[in-house]
């Protein structure tokens, strides 16, 4: 099988993907339960993404072959949904909501503090490869806004001063 390295994350992002045989075999194993079941494309992509936190091009090819769908469609789906990423991301995904209810509760301030604290722009990955920050439309935690979600954990009723302690748990 084709051995390939990369794609590599944005310069200095510290994120490197090695699409080696070991990884692709793992992808193959994960998607084999969806063999020839095109309707499970979204579920298959969830499973594949859980391996490396993003969907490398080579992995999409494996998914296409296994589920028996055109690669173009796999790519179309992978780029449509906001939970999927086709470029490398950090080890932990920080999602933050800036919709109206969170905006009213002061999300803008938390966003600024968070980006400052991490030294990245929205959508960026920290240089140590630990965090990627993304916006999300609504996390359904508006009752404790402003809130951030790190992977599957929510931190609510935040003030800027809470952020360093929250982030430290992941470093």
Partner 1 sequence: MEFYRAHVLVCGGFPCVAAGCRAVRGEIERSVKEHGLEREVRIVETGCLGPCDLGPIVVVYPEGTVYSRVSVDDVSEIVGEHLMKGRPVRRLEYTERLPSVSQADHKRPDYFGIQERIVLENVGLIDPDSIEEYIARDGYLGAGMALTSMSPDEVISAIKASGLRGRGGAAFPTGVKLGFTARVEADQKYIICNADEGEPGTFKDRLILEGDPHKVIEGMIILGYSVGATMGYIYIRGEYYLSIERIERAIAEARRYGLLGHDLFGSGFSFDIEVKKGAGAYVCGEETALIESMEGKRGEPRQKPPYPGTCGLWGKPTVVNNVETIANVPPIVRNGADWFRQFGTPTSPGTKVYTLTGDVNNKGLIEVPMGITLREVIYGVGGGIPGGRRFKMAQTGGTAGGCLSETHLDIPMDYESLQETGSALGSGALLIIDDSHCVVDIACALLRFFEHESCGQCTPCREGTRRLHDIFRKTRELAATEKDLKLARELAGVMQASSLCALGQSVAVPLFTIMDHYADEIEAHLEGRCPAGVCRPNPANADESAYETLQAGNGIR
Residue 121 to residue 150: CA distance in whole angstroms:
17
118 binds ligand FES (CB under 6 A): no
32 binds partner 1 (CB under 8 A): no
Among 102, 114, 158, 163, binds ligand FES (CB under 6 A): 102
Q: Which does 59 bind (CB under 5 to 8 A by kind): ligand FES, partner 1, none?
A: none
Among 1, 16, 33, 100, binds partner 1 (CB under 8 A): 100
Q: 154: helix, coil or strand?
A: strand
> x/- binding map, residues 123-142, to ligand FES, per CB under 6 A?
---------------xxxxx
CB atoms within 10 A of CB 118: 21
In angstroms, give the least distance from the CB of 78 to ligand FES.
24
C-alpha 42, offset from chain centre: 15
Among 20, 98, 117, 162, binds partner 1 (CB under 8 A): 98
Q: Between 108 and 138, name the residue whose CB sits nearer to ligand FES.
A: 138
Q: Which does 84 bind (CB under 5 to 8 A by kind): partner 1, ligand FES, none?
A: partner 1
Contact 133, 150 (CB under 8 A): no
Per-residue CA distances from 23 to 4, 59, 91, 169 (Å): 11, 9, 16, 28
How is residue 120 annotated by DSSP? -
CB atoms within 10 A of CB 2: 8
Q: Is the peptide bond before 7 cis (omega within 30 degrees of 0)?
A: yes
Residue 40 to residue 155: CA distance in whole angstroms:
31
Write out the residues near partner 1 by the rule CB under 8 A.
38-43, 45-46, 67, 69, 73, 76-77, 80-84, 95, 97-105, 135-145, 147, 149, 152-157
Write out the residues near ligand FES by the rule CB under 6 A.
97, 99, 101-102, 138-142, 145
């Amino acid at each position: 099988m084709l051995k390939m390295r990369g794609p590599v994350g944005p310069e200095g992002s510290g994120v490197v993907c090695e699409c080696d045989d070991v990884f692709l075999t793992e992808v193959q194993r994960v998607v084999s339960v969806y063999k020839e079941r095109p309707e499970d494309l979204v579920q298959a992509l969830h499973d594949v993404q859980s391996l490396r936190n993003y969907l490398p091009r080579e992995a999409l090819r494996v998914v296409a072959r296994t589920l028996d769908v055109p690669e173009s469609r796999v790519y179309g789906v992978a780029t449509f949904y906001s939970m999927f990423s086709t470029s490398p991301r950090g080890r932990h995904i920080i999602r933050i909501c800036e919709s109206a209810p969170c905006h009213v509760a002061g999300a803008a301030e938390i966003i600024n503090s968070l980006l400052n604290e991490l030294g990245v722009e929205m959508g960026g990955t920290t240089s140590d490869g630990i965090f990627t920050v993304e916006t999300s439309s609504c996390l359904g935690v508006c009752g404790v806004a402003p809130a951030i979600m790190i992977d599957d954990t929510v931190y609510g009723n935040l003030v800027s001063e809470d952020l360093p302690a929250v982030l430290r748990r992941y470093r």
